[in-house]
Structures are given as C-alpha cells and as structure tokens.
Amino acid sequence: MTARSDIPGAAPVLGGDRVYRIHWVLGTDRLRAVCHCGAERIFEDPVELWEWLLAHPDGHRADEDAPTGPAQVPPREPAHASV
C-alpha cells in the first residue's frame, strides 16, 4: 500500500493569452470549448471544435449571430449547491 505522501499533486493550471480549454460534458458525447478570449461553445465534433477555436476571433463575440451548429447546453448546477 502506498502512503498518501506518494501521491503527486495536481499539475498547475496554465494561464496566458493563447490557452484553450476543452471539457467533456459529463453524461453526453459533447465537448465544451473555451477560447482564450472567454467565448464558450458546445460541440459534438472535435474537428469543428478545433476549427472554431483556431478561427479566433471569428464567431467568438456575443454580439455576432450565433454560428450554425450544435445548440448551447446550459451549465448544470452542482448537486451539492442545491440545498
């Protein structure tokens, strides 16, 4: 059995002006892309996701018409927060 001190710590979170984040939406086949500018969008196709991220700033502003594609899925409230 290994001691708890043998468990490595979490890797540091990257920051900066060119960091893209991709999160799997639990319980679905969808991915949430977060651009370095803060824009977010849900995708089912990883190729479309990367095309959207790398096309910055096209389609990344809230005042632009939403591009055709998968609908946004509202974030779910964590179970522990609904008390």
pLDDT tens digits along 19-38: 888 999 999 999 999 888 88
pLDDT at 47 over 80: yes
Assessment of whether the complete model's pTM goes beyond 0.75: no
| Separation CA 63–CA 57 (nearest Å) | 12
Residue type, 39: A
HSE at residue 36, side-chain half, CA atoms within 13 A, is: 11
Give the count of alpha carbons within 13 A of 31, CB side only: 16
Share of the chain above pLDDT 70, in %: 63
Average pLDDT over residues 55-72: 60
Mean pLDDT of 53-59: 84
